[in-house]
Structure 1
Amino acid sequence: MKNIKAIGLIFLALLFGLAAAVYATGWISRQSGIASNKVVVAAVDIDLGSRVNAQMLSTVDWPSGSVPNGSFSDIKALNDRVVKVGVLRGEALMEGKLAPVGTQGGLSAVIASGKRAMTVRVNDVVGVAGFALPGNYVDVMVNAQQDKGRGEDALQISKTVLEKVLVLAVAQEANRDDTKPKVVSAVTLELSLEDSEKLDLARSVGTLSLVLRNQMDKTTVATLGITKGQLFGEKKDIVPVSTAAAPAHPRVRLAGPATPRASECVEVIQHAGRSLTCF
C-alpha cells in the first residue's frame, strides 16, 4: 500500500514537472518571436555638454512596439554630437537630448536659445551654503544704497531684482545629477540679455544674495523691497512742505462814478444877435 502511494506521488511530480517544462518552452518561443529593433544606448554615464564618440555608446535589442521617438539605430549617426542633458548608462540616446548638429561641446551647448550665461561671485552664505546646484532655480537679491536728493542721507534697501533664474554651473561643474551641496566661489546663471544687464548693474552697486526656490514654483512676486527704517518699524519721515509768504497784493481802490465836469460856455455876438455855445 505504501509503495502504491509513493509511486502515485512520483507520478504526480513527473506530471507537474512535464507541464512546467512545456509551459516554459512555449514562453521562450513566444519571446523569441517578438520583433525587435536595434537602439543606441549609453554604454557609460555621459555628462551634459560632452561630445559623444563610439566608445560611449552601444546597441541593444528593443521591442519594436516601444522604440522611443527620436532614438537612433546607428552609432555612426551620433558621432561628434553633443548632449545637452546628462545621460545615464543604458539610457537611449534621443534627438531631444542632443544639441543641434555642429554645436561645439562645453557649457555653450547647454544654454537655451536667446539666453546668455553670466557668472557671479558667491561664498558659503551668498551661495545658499552650496545648495544652489546646476539645474536648480534661484532668485537674485541685491542690498544697496539708494541715492537721494541733495542734502538727504542715502537710503539702504534690499530688493529682489531677478526671479526664477536657472543655475547652469557651479565653479567648473555643470552636472545636474549630483545632489551633494558644494561650497564654491562662483555660480553661472542663465539669463536673458536684459536680465544680464540688470545683474551686471546690481553687482556693481551692492551685495548680491542667491535665494533658492522650489523647482516647480513658477509664481513671480513683485515687491517694492524693504528699507532699514521699514525693517525696524520706524515711521516714514514726512518732509514738511515749505510755504513761502504770499506777496502782498496792492490794494486797489475802485473808482467811483466820474464827477461830471462843469460845462464851459462861450457867448458869440454876431451882428445884432447873440448866441451861447457850451461844450
Structure 2
Amino acid sequence: MTTLTRRGRRADVGQENRVDSEDYIKDKDEEESADSKDIRLTLMEEVLLLGLKDKEGYTSFWNDCISSGLRGGILIELFLRNRVVLEPSTLRKKRLTDRKVLLKSDTPTGDVLLDETLKHMKATEPAETVQSWIELLTGETWNPFKLQYQLRNVRERIAKNLVEKGILTTEKQNFLLFDMTTHPVSNTTEKQRLVKKLQESLLEKWVNDPHRMDRRTLALLVLAHSSDVLENAFSSLSDEKYDMAMTRSKELLDLDPDTEGNKPNTCEMIWAVLSAFNKS
C-alpha cells in the first residue's frame, strides 16, 4: 500500500417511491453522461497517463502498485456506468469489504477491458467482493481455477487506447539487454488538463467535503493515490501549494471508508476500493 509523502522542506410509501424515482433518474443521467463521447478518458487511462514519464513513455520501474490500481479503476468505472452495484448493507455485511459486487447490467460499454470484466462477472458464482475482484483481475490468487479471470497486458492495452486517441505515441527503446515498446506523451495539453483538474480540486476548488466533490475527480484522487502516482500531479506546484495539496489529499484519504461509504448519496464503490487498498 502506498503512503503520501511530503517534499523535503516542503417512511412512507409515497416518499419511498419518490426517492426510488429520483435515484433512477440520477442513475440514468450518470450512465448517459459516463457513456457519452464528452468523457474523453476512462479512469484507467487517466491513472496510466499520470504515471507515465512524458518523454520516456513508461512508468517507474519501482512502482508495484499501479497494476492493482488500474483494476480498482475498472470496478469504479463499471459502477459509474451503472453496470455493477454493491450488495445492500446488512447487519452482517455492513463493512464495504464484506459486500459483494453484483452485476446490474451486462450491456457492453465499448471498452475492451470493461467488457471483458463484465463477462467474467457474469460467469462468476457466487459473487466476489471488491478486494477479491482486484486480486483476481490482477492474477494474485492461489486458486488455479480462478487464474482465468486475470486481465493480461492491461497497461499495454490502455496505452494503445491512448495512442488511438492521439495522446500517446509508440516508440521502441533499447535497454542494453532488451528492447521495450514505450509510449511517450505526444499530447501534453491533455495531460496538463488532467494535472490541473487534480490540483484545482485540492486548491482553488477545494470544498472540504468528499461528498460535494465531482465523483470522477474523487475517484481519480483515490486511484492515483492507490497507484502511487498522485504526487506526480503536484510536482509542478510551489512548495507552499504542494504542501497544502498533499495535506488536504492526506486528510481526504485518511477518512474512514465505511463511514463515508454509508452516508446518503455517496459513491459506495469509490470508498470500497479505497477500503480494499487500505487492507492490502
Q: TM-score range by the shorter chain?
A: under 0.3
Which of the two has higher C-alpha Rg?
Answer: 1
The structure with the largest helix share of the pair is 2
Q: Relative contact order (alpha carbons < 8 A, sep ≥ 6): 1 or 2 greater?
A: 2
The structure in which a higher percent of residues are strand is: 1
TM-score between both structures, scaled by the size of structure 2: 0.19
The normalised TM-score by structure 1 is 0.19
